[in-house]
Chains A and B, each alone.
Chain A
Amino acid sequence: MSILGIIRRHRDARKMSCAEVGEVLQQYLDGEYDSDRAPLVRAHLEVCKRCGLEASVYTDIKEALAHQVEPPVESRDRLREFGERIAHGDISADGA
């Protein structure tokens, strides 16, 4: 990044306070912060160590929650096949 780019990023990072970033942090990490301030949040997280750490904690938690249940491949395959059979009329809707 150019010097100018770095300066701009630091300037953007200061446009929101840590408290303001904290308020929208989870929404931002969920990809649900639909605001023109989103680039300011990104700049702040890149520059501010405290908030950057906070963001990585929530990212880790979110990922661990998502990993929490990794169903066996065989279950998945059986269910896909079951679904195909329903779609093709091989299984009646009452399960018989």
Chain B
Amino acid sequence: MDIDVPTSESASARFERWVLPEVDVLLRVAQSITRNTHDAEDLVQDTMLRAYRSIDSFDGRYPRAWLLTILRNTEINRHRRRRPSLLTAAQQTLPDPIADGGATAESVVVDLTFESAVEDAFEHLSDDFREVVELVDIGGLSYAEAAEAADIPEGTVMSRLHRARKQVRTRLEKQGYVAGRPR
């Protein structure tokens, strides 16, 4: 990747260019990691401050991956709180789809059931698997960016991600949310 950055560019300009556009992604991943709106906001604030402090040494490659690495390290350094129950997290974060659009109550219930089943399956993944799902499906990173963020080879990102989704799928299948794989 060829990035042309004037060496004289101020920290502020670099921060505006690389960090501000990623706030939404950072918040989504933070929310997934902390399962709590308040902690997520704190985590993103700390991440932005750390990013600002190290912005001069950042080479401009993969800004999103760079930021997510900072976010994860920040979270590791923070006091790890026990995750509140899934239900609480879901109540805090789920928008009200009926109010938002014209969906019927029934289809909303079906969607919510499916989505909470997926969420439950996600919770049952190992940490390594959850990490790649967070980076790719929640953070929207490419395999290459996720490899950079998690500091693992791209092939490992791919195999973990695919196995993680297969596990989710198997769990949904057992619970009857999706049909078994046709033979």
Contact = CB atoms under 8 A, between A and B. Distances in A.
Query: Chain A interface mostly helix, strand, loop or mixed?
Result: helix
B32 A88 contact: no
A75 B40 contact: yes
Nearest to B41: A75
Interface string A43-84: 000000110011001101110111111111001101110111
A62 B166 CA distance: 11
B52 A86 contact: yes
Most buried by B among A26, A61, A67: A61
A32 B162 CA distance: 12
Nearest to B168: A61
Given A32-B142, A65-B138, A72-B37, A87 B178 contact: no
A65 B37 contact: no
A49 B52 CA distance: 51
A30 interface: yes
Interface string B139-183: 010110000000000000010011001001100100000110110
A62 B27 contact: no
Contacts of B40: 71, 75
Contacts of A89: 12
Interface residues of A, number: 38
Contacts of A72: 37, 92-93
Task: Report, as a range, how many residues of chain B touch the other chain.
Answer: 35 or more
Given A65-B118, A86-B49, A79 B178 contact: no
A5 interface: no
Most buried by B among A87, A94, A95: A87
Contacts of A3: none
B169 A65 contact: no
A94 B81 CA distance: 23
Given A60-B114, A61-B172, A82 B165 contact: no
A83 B20 contact: yes
B143 A32 contact: yes
B24 A76 contact: yes
Interface of B: 12, 15-16, 19-20, 23-24, 26-28, 31-32, 37, 40-41, 44-46, 48-49, 52-53, 92-95, 114-115, 118-119, 122, 133, 136-138, 140, 142-143, 158, 161-162, 165, 168-169, 172, 178-179, 181-182
12 contacts: A26-B162, A57-B169, A65-B122, A65-B137, A65-B168, A66-B140, A70-B94, A72-B93, A75-B37, A83-B23, A86-B52, A94-B49
